[in-house]
Structure 1
């Protein structure tokens, strides 16, 4: 059945033929024409963060005015973009010396011009992404047995790889990149399954026949840096390996055991480790010093320098970054309101399963300290209010619950929050005690709270 389905998709894509590609291209840039069947106020063209190419800069162009037609000649680098208008988002691909016409209707989107075949393919690829997204979720496939998961992962890979392999009108460089995206996604799922399966099967260990996640990928191929998930895959793999030794992840990346020997690839994964791990490293000073030697001068080294000095501001004994947010009743709550008490900050999200799994222990912790001067403040970030309220009600959570979209990014930056769940301990004087505090499930947390309380 799967093969028949893929053939049906291919027929849909190729049935339009090449007659529509006769529109003349523009040698000085990209002619982009977008037509809507209803008037639009704003059209936004920006870089697609998920698929952007390695050297593709972040770009955003906003067009305003009441019109149903946009026609412009733009000079931007080739790559993947998002075109948003009338609450509709088109994933598109653009490159110089070409023309693309997009006709946005309520019922469908059609393409004409030099890039029509590529963008028809992307439209179908994104449709399949939406359809299969529930199966991509670790919370979903973590419930499957190993055999069931491997069958599912192979099937999903086959759908995407066959889709791009069998189209005849795609440029080879584009086709190669899309095939690599599918291959890296498959590898990511293979690696992630080994993390999430033990949550549903406590004693799970991969079988002898479990595929090595990196076995089908040329880890020295610099072209794979065009795929952001490639760096994340190698960083995740390094995390696993480092956790089995006394190394930090970045130390493993620099070691001879790291599977890619390409210096450029190693630099990118080393940089990725800094972006994700710097706030929780045992030796952030050591990492920073090495970054100044190992990374080439430029944007990435500057970015890590900025993060390092931001992190310094939330070291032990420094004033906790002040904030004022609203609770679920819309009332303002400021950190300074609790000066004189010990504060335990909880950063969580409605999409973070480990955050939600911590809630029963969090409630027990609140019960244990209910007669002591500790304030428990939970802050929902990057969340949906309806989902937040539902989760809190289901878990019968009490304490101080804050939620204010729009201030998320600023707060996450102030507290160097790069992953969740994340907990922070603040002493009675309003100073940071531990910016990576133990989770409610960790017995060490009670020891630290009692120490701060002087008991």
Structure 2
């Protein structure tokens, strides 16, 4: 029996329904199939014949993607349309077939001329600009030649232009592989500035958001160390503050940059970017979301006391964080399957050796859920000392707002936060900062 699933989407206002159907051949029973749009993800439950139909009530128009394992099929829908696709997982692109009122638009999206863009990064700057402009016109002509639905053509032209903007930015990165010591000319950067479009109606288009974000980053951070997230963020915010005029566009990208920075680095330096946040971000929804993020980081701001945390050692014995009270505590959060984490471990051992007689503990805290993988990594890296996994990993990650590893944390003798985003063992600043601690 065919699986019928009903969903109420978050956007759109007409009481029309879009029908989406999928048929897969040779798909493993344990596999998952998803239909994803910008902010919505549907898990598709296939019946015994590999079929599923979903009715998207009040969704609106937009681009999405069907994900089946490593296979990704771009799709486009609009209100009241019908799209049915089928393919064989053994040869997905060769067997891909579309039916319904949206079939032609989706055949276009999956045409190799659309899916696989041409590149000419070996050309010099002026030649590349000319080539890329001709290529954009070529893509426009191909789109026009198919006489597709006018609604689709309008938004697809905007998407193609955003891809054009992205290509102009990617050239700067890719051309470095062609020319040693390449740096973009002032003329090329000026040309990039000229292609910027401040159009708030395009903010729901992923390619437009990607293009604007990369244009801002490219134009504002040419001479900044990319590893310094604070300087990178400040440069982009200051560029937006100076150059963008559209309130909605500026607000969106200021909000995105500040959320990304605070989400990763916390609020220790927020005062340095607060004035720009205050000038641009007026949306109540944005401000509420940011306030929630700020409050979570405020709990681990400098001087805040860390709540009790329990670990398990390699023998499975419980150990409390308070057991280490009385000395400074440097915590290295890592995982056995994380290459950057493993790269830091030899430097951590060197730090421990350098500070062996100092007033500080070094805790190696793994996020591994698989004990065997953790123990194997300990043996491979020849680690000793204080080796733990959190007894409650979710709580530990939430307490310290850890989204990515490796992560390094420094506490004082009373278990107060010195910084929840300490420098890494391999960073020369780490040893200097530790030596400057009072009573170390």
Among residues 345, 352, 358, which one is paired with 1:366 in the alignment? 352
Kindly indicate whether residue 325 of structure 2 is the aligned counterpart of residue 336 of structure 1.
no
Cα deviation for residue 98 of structure 1 reads 0.8
Residue correspondence of structure 1 range 11-30 to structure 2 within 5 A: 28-30=16-18
Aligned length: 397
Q: 1:300–1:454: structure 2 CA closer, same or farther, 3 Å change rule?
A: same
Q: Does structure 1 retain, via aligned residues, the 8 Å contact 2:336–2:373?
A: no
Q: Deviations over 1:174-212 (max 9, x none)?
A: 322331342343244356679x99xxx8xx571547832
Quote the Cα distance in structure 1 between the aligned partners of 2:272 and 2:45.
Answer: 46
C-alpha RMSD of the superposition: 5.2
Partner of 1:211: 188
> Alignment partner of 2:414: what SS?
coil
Cα deviation for residue 305 of structure 1 reads 0.9
Among residues 231, 240, 259, which one is paired with 2:243 in the alignment? 259
Kindly indicate whether residue 167 of structure 2 is the aligned counterpart of residue 166 of structure 1.
no
Bigger-Rg structure (1/2):
2
Partner of 1:316: 302
Kindly indicate whether residue 66 of structure 2 is the aligned counterpart of residue 83 of structure 1.
yes
Q: 1:84–1:355: structure 2 CA closer, same or farther, 3 Å change rule?
A: same
Quote the Cα distance in structure 2 between the aligned partners of 1:87 and 1:241.
Answer: 35
Cα deviation for residue 448 of structure 1 reads 3.2
Q: Deviations over 1:214-237 (max 9, x none)?
A: 346324233553233235325534
Q: Does structure 1 retain, via aligned residues, the 8 Å contact 2:169–2:218?
A: no
Kindly indicate whether residue 217 of structure 2 is the aligned counterpart of residue 236 of structure 1.
yes
Cα deviation for residue 304 of structure 1 reads 0.9
TM-score (norm 1): 0.66
Partner of 1:112: 99
Quote the Cα distance in structure 1 between the aligned partners of 2:139 and 2:171.
Answer: 21
Q: Indicate the structure whose relative CO is greater, using CA pairs within 8 Å and at least 6 residues apart.
A: 1
Q: Does structure 2 retain, via aligned residues, the 8 Å contact 1:234–1:269?
A: no
Quote the Cα distance in structure 2 between the aligned partners of 1:399 and 1:154.
Answer: 57
Q: What residue ranges of structure 1 are gaps of 5+ in the alignment?
A: 1-25, 136-145
Residue correspondence of structure 1 range 18-417 to structure 2 within 5 A: 28-38=16-26, 44-48=33-37, 52=38, 57-60=39-42, 62-63=44-45, 66-75=48-57, 76-84=59-67, 89-106=72-89, 107-108=91-92, 109-124=96-111, 166-167=142-143, 168-169=145-146, 171-190=152-171, 204=181, 206=183, 208=185, 211-212=188-189, 214-215=192-193, 217-225=195-203, 226-227=205-206, 228-234=209-215, 236-237=217-218, 240=221, 249-250=233-234, 253=237, 258-278=242-262, 279=265, 283-285=269-271, 287-288=273-274, 291=277, 294-320=280-306, 336=321, 339-340=324-325, 341-347=327-333, 361-372=347-358, 373-377=360-364, 379=366, 414-417=399-402
Q: 1:357–1:249: structure 2 CA closer, same or farther, 3 Å change rule?
A: same
> Alignment partner of 1:345: what SS?
strand
Cα deviation for residue 315 of structure 1 reads 0.7
Q: 1:282–1:174: structure 2 CA closer, same or farther, 3 Å change rule?
A: same
Q: Deviations over 1:371-430 (max 9, x none)?
A: 5442142656999x999988995x7777767789x967x765543446666432123333
Kindly indicate whether residue 437 of structure 2 is the aligned counterpart of residue 436 of structure 1.
no
Q: 1:293–1:262: structure 2 CA closer, same or farther, 3 Å change rule?
A: closer
Q: What residue ranges of structure 2 are gaps of 5+ in the alignment?
A: 1-13
Cα deviation for residue 338 of structure 1 reads 5.7
Quote the Cα distance in structure 1 between the aligned partners of 2:108 and 2:319.
Answer: 50
> Alignment partner of 1:258: what SS?
helix
Cα deviation for residue 262 of structure 1 reads 2.0
> Alignment partner of 1:211: what SS?
helix
Cα deviation for residue 63 of structure 1 reads 3.6
Q: Does structure 1 retain, via aligned residues, the 8 Å contact 2:310–2:320?
A: yes
> Alignment partner of 2:364: what SS?
strand
> Alignment partner of 1:166: what SS?
helix
